Amino acid sequence: MTKRGFPARLPGLLLAGLLTGPLATPLGNAYTLEEFHFDDPAKAAEFRRLTEELRCLVCQNESLAGSQADLAQDLREEVYRLLQSGKSREEVVEFLVERYGDFVLYDPPLKPSTYPLWFGPLLLAGIGGLFLLHALRNKRRAQDQELSLEERQRLHALLKDGASQGKEKA
């Protein structure tokens, strides 16, 4: 025992527990497409294609097939249920778009409501380019301006004073 009443090895045991604890806990549920079973291999292939072409609404940069988000699992189950009930690919996509909007599609159709998705990045890049061009022109104009007679005399005086102070220090 130490002076405080703690066992001498307690800090070491705590450190060991903190380091090995995460290894002992079960990992979170990893969702895979393997848990969905189809009698028809064509439907299984269609399910895989659909889940790869639909976007996870939580992750936004992952497909339903690759996402581990709970909502993605729910959407995969919904797609599975719809395909098992005999719905076609188009009907499944239409159902999801009706419910979640065109954002659920990786390749949304070109229509007025999706113009920001298609043209927004180009518009922002164009605006950024205009600002850059404006800044470069202003910089060039500032370099091209000549000094007035008064500014030249002042600069000459400053340079003369600086040179004389440098000689005094040496």
Residue 128 sits in the same domain as residue 105? no
- pLDDT tens for residues 26-81? 444 556 666 777 888 888 889 899 988 898 888 868 888 888 888 888 999 999 99
Question: How many residues are present in the chain?
Answer: 170
Environment class of 66 (CB within 10 Å of its CB; exposed 0-12, middle 13-18, buried 19+): middle
| 152-162 pLDDT per residue, tens | 899 889 988 87
Domain count, the chain: 2
Of 83, 109, 135, the residue that ends a domain is 109
| Mean pLDDT in residue range 101-130 | 88
The interaxial angle of helices 70-84 and 41-53, nearest 10 deg, is: 140
Q: Are residues 54 and 118 in the same domain?
A: no
Regarding whether 37 and 99 lie in a shared domain, the answer is: yes
Burial state string for 138-163 with b = 16 or more CB within 10 A and e = fewer than 16? eeeeeeeeeeeeeeeeeeeeeeeeee
27 domain-assigned: no
- Structural domain boundaries, residue 137: 113-169
Whether residues 44 and 78 fall in one domain: yes
Domain identity same for 92 and 135 = no
Domain for residue 87, yes or no? yes
Give a yes or no: residue 11 inside a domain: no
- Shared domain check, 74 and 102: yes
Phi then psi for residue 63, to 5 deg, are: -80, 165
Mean residue pLDDT of the chain comes to: 80
